[in-house]
Chains A and B, each alone.
Chain A
Amino acid sequence: MFHKWSIAWRLGILVLVGVGTVLAAMTGYSYFSVKRILEEEMMDKARQIATAVTVHVETSARPVEDMAKDLTVFIETVPVAEEQAYQLLERLINSHSAVFGAAIAMAPQDGGRAAPYVYRTEQGLRRTDLRQGYHYETSDWYILPKELKRPVWSEPYFDEGGGNVLMATYAVPVRTGTDKETVTGVVTGDMSLASLAGLLTSLELGRSNYAFIISGQGRFIAHPDDNFIMRESIFSVAEAARNQHLRALGRKMIRGESGQAAYTSEVSGKPGWVVYMPIASTGWSLGLFFSREALMARVFELNHIQWYLGSAGFILLCLVVTGIARSITRPIRQLDKAARKLAAGDLDAPVPYINGGDEVARLAESFTIMISELKVHMDMLQETATVKERMESELRIARSIQMGLIPKTFPPFPDRSEFRLFALLDPARETGGDFYDFFFLDEEQEQLCLVIGDVADKGVGAALFMAVTRTLLRSLARENQEPAGLLSRLNDELSRNNESCMFVTLFCAAVHLPTGRCSYASGGHCPPVVMQPDGRLISLKDAKGPVVGGMEGMLYTAGQYLFTPGDLIFLYTDGVTEAANPERALFGEERMHRALQQAQTRNTEKLLRHMRERLQEFAEHAEQSDDITMLAFCYHGPASSAVNEAVDNAPENSRVNREGVDRL
């Protein structure tokens, strides 16, 4: 799929994917590192704030503790009367702004003494005797220091007398007895927690962040939502949310540990973190909640310029890459267009000129060179074609001369029953100058002359030489009916004025039809084969003589053969034996003899067509290099006995002169 896209697309997409990945990785890395830095920064800030708040609360609690301890020392040392006690308390409260109220509560069984309590109201300090209608001996602030025998910060509580103020009481056991062990009463100092909420809201922690304080039992004593104060504890929230982690966190907080943890706001239900720190003296714990949302808003704030720059850069890069990709591929596309025109045959199509020396420019240059080379080549080709055309036309002429001279009507003498005759000439592309001929030598038409020849050259010259040969042969045959003499004469005639030094191989046989006596002569031609009725093959190579037309005054010896009815003579040129197959093997005489025997026919036409088929089979489409000429003559006996014409297996004629005949 990808490989089907254009180069410009592929280049563009690959570059953009690569750059985009790097860009995204960088932005992602920066996002996470900014987030981590901000988280650390936030935690640091949270710890600082928490420290400040706890110090602040401690410094509010410390004067209360100090006052109560001082007062304890005082009353343990000096017994005070009721009025003195009230005055003491008033003076102490006035001098300690952090103290909301203070009391001296001796054990109820310790006589009928008052339990003076002084506390702040909007109208100034107010005195109360706690013994009146207030069973303080059941209060935690009394029981706990008494039983624990040490100063104790009480759990914060709503003071029902003093205007529903949430307060915590620091209570110190008093030992006025002689044994200094028995706790005889309790001195208290109250701290109002009303200012805690104001302190926490003044922290400016940021939107959706907040601070809270839990008591030593996990109860919210300062919280942005008033409904949580004193009602809910970190454990009740954990229980409602079925959140074991929150419960575990609460346990850490009330144990006085400090740290940070993931936290889900009990107000908004949003996730975030809490940083917690103990307020040691009171046993409370401060929590600062930071919402993830607020942090992420800051992360985005710091990151968004990077996002915008990254996106803008990416878009710019898209445009640049597209431009570059197109500029690289434009000349290629132009070349492509030109190449297509070229392929369509338009060699004059302009090749685009490309500036510079880069690969594409060099390709265009090669293209131009290729086109000019192609043009030269085309011109040469055209010239060769003209020459060839002329040659072809010459060959055509030669062929028409050749084919026009040889007799082509078969059977040539349909009224003659003594024999059957058939001939074939398959010219090669370059005419070889083969010919055959047959004619009667005498007026009585008893002597039939069979001729086959092969001019030793090709083309028009050969054709003309063949025409001359044939014409001479015919005219000379009128005066000289013996083949040997005829050839002698022909040789002399052709040799004379033969400046082109052409010659011809010839086989000539004169058959006396009434008797079957045959006289033959050969001028360097391959000896014909006689197929006797019993299938035996005899080569007629008795006659000897040189090629015809080579030199004057040559002598030719004659051979004799006596045809018996059924004998068939097969004349051929070297185109048959030298026919070659694609492996350049020659057909050869042996194959020829076998093919003749396999034919098993006396029908001259069938035989020659059979031979032609064998030759074609052997050649297997290899180009024919020479003319193939074959002539078959089958003797049926004298005209009187011509009824027995189709004698295939006539008995051997013992009277025939077998001299000079080879048995094959």
Chain B
Amino acid sequence: MKRALIKSAVVIVMITLFATLPAGSGGVGGVTGKPLRLILLWMPQAQFAGYYVALEKGIYRDYGLDVRIIRGGPDRDGVDYLERGEADVAILFLSGALLARNRDVPLVHLGQVVNRSNLMLVGWKDKGVTDNLALDGKRVSLWGGAFQADFMTFFAASGVRPQIIPQYYSVNLFLSKGVDACSVMYYNEYHTLFQAGVDENELTAMFMRDYGGGFPEDGIYCLAETLSARREEYAAFVAASLAGWQYAAANQEEALDIVMKYVQEANLPTNREHMRWMLEKILPTIIPGEESAWEYGRLSPEDYRRAVEILKQYELITAAPSYEALRGEG
């Protein structure tokens, strides 16, 4: 309890610090400056409610920022956008960022939004997946890329060797029972299954974070070369984004209205109930509660070191910058 209080105090001090920055620096960058382009990780959805809210509620503007949001998607990669100079900051998974660093993309970590992993595996109970140990020899579809480390850690911890099928953008193969288990995000595909008529009691749900996997997810990144010129602007952006998330947490219906506006503009085949679930489930992995082990908006060195270690273990990366170097403090 006492620790939680201290933590909250730290958070408040930090937010106040960020909040006073633009005012203190007399409109650094300023609305008159060149716009700050943010590329998201995926299509418009509640996973990014905080940024949309910060934009729509004028929080970015209040911080002296002129932010443009670029949607992500299967056809767009945030790292590419940064490298091509089509975006200034990007939302990336930590593991994804580390893979890019491993390819010598000079990414710098500005802030950590989602500090707790939402990654999980779900299996059909009627196909025999009653727990993690039952996955041995089962057909399991998995997302590739950086996620592999989480799943490998999980399989190693469970001592099972499933048959891996690549998984892309949908869970339809799982729904057609073409696989016995598949990878889902708790805030997204897990609920997609529910909205396809699958009841929770039909599934065995396993969070990677419960088995040593599961890294911090959405973080804010930029390229190292843009950092020195726009350091204060980026700091203001991170603070404003966090303020946007806080506003979204406090005004969830309004945040949903804003998200749905973007969803409809993009003509996405999704609905408000799905976005509501997403917002409700992602918020606790962003804003720390009393029991949470992280600071709001901040990547903890331990989590970072653990992620690096596991990614190296499964040879997804060979080298990683130090914590300080990742944060551009080197």
Contact = CB atoms under 8 A, between A and B. Distances in A.
Contact of A217 (B168, B197, B273, B274): B197
Contact of A236 (B165, B176, B268, B273): B273
A155 B195 contact: no
Interface string A215-257: 0011100000000001111111001100000010011001000
A251 B175 CA distance: 13
A590 interface: no
Contacts of B197: 217-218, 233-235, 247, 250-251, 254
A140 B271 contact: no
Given A148-B178, A235-B195, A236-B195, A158 B269 contact: yes
Nearest to A228: B271
Contacts of B194: 235, 239
Contact residue range for chain B? 20 to 34
B176 A144 contact: yes
Interface in A573-595: none
Contacts of B229: none
A60 B305 CA distance: 58
Nearest to B196: A217
Contacts of B169: 138
B172 A236 contact: no
B272 interface: yes
A231 B74 CA distance: 19
A192 B48 CA distance: 33
A143 B196 contact: no
A144 to B, nearest CB: 6
Contact residue range for chain A? 20 to 34
A147 interface: yes
Nearest to A156: B269
Contacts of A254: 196-197
B263 to A, nearest CB: 9
Contacts of B168: 138-139, 143
Contact of B195 (A154, A157, A218): A218
Contact of B165 (A138, A147, A155, A233): A147
B116 to A, nearest CB: 25
A239 B193 CA distance: 13
B178 A155 contact: no
Contacts of A506: none
B170 interface: yes
Nearest to B270: A231
A61 interface: no
A296 to B, nearest CB: 31
Contact of B176 (A148, A239, A247): A148
Interface in B259-277: 267-274
A250 B274 CA distance: 17
B173 A147 contact: yes
B196 A233 contact: yes
A235 B175 CA distance: 15
A143 B173 contact: yes
A152 interface: yes
A155 B165 CA distance: 20
B28 interface: no
B269 A144 contact: no
Contacts of B270: 231
A218 B271 contact: no
B179 interface: yes
Interface in B29-69: none
A147 B199 CA distance: 24
A13 B325 CA distance: 100
Interface in B193-242: 194-197, 199
Given A217-B197, A250-B197, A240 B176 contact: no
Contacts of A147: 165, 173, 178-179
Contacts of A234: 197
Nearest to B177: A148
A217 to B, nearest CB: 4
B170 A140 contact: yes
B272 A240 contact: yes
A140 B172 contact: yes
Contacts of B196: 217-219, 233, 235, 254
A235 B196 CA distance: 7
A269 to B, nearest CB: 16
A299 B283 CA distance: 52
A137 to B, nearest CB: 8
6 contacts: A140-B172, A236-B271, A236-B274, A239-B273, A240-B272, A240-B273
Interface of B: 74, 165, 168-170, 172-173, 175-176, 178-179, 194-197, 199, 267-274
Interface of A: 138-140, 143-144, 147-148, 152, 154-155, 157-158, 217-219, 230-236, 239-240, 247, 250-251, 254
Given A140-B170, A154-B172, A240-B273, 13 more contacts: A138-B168, A140-B173, A144-B176, A144-B178, A147-B173, A147-B178, A147-B179, A230-B269, A231-B270, A231-B271, A233-B195, A233-B196, A240-B272
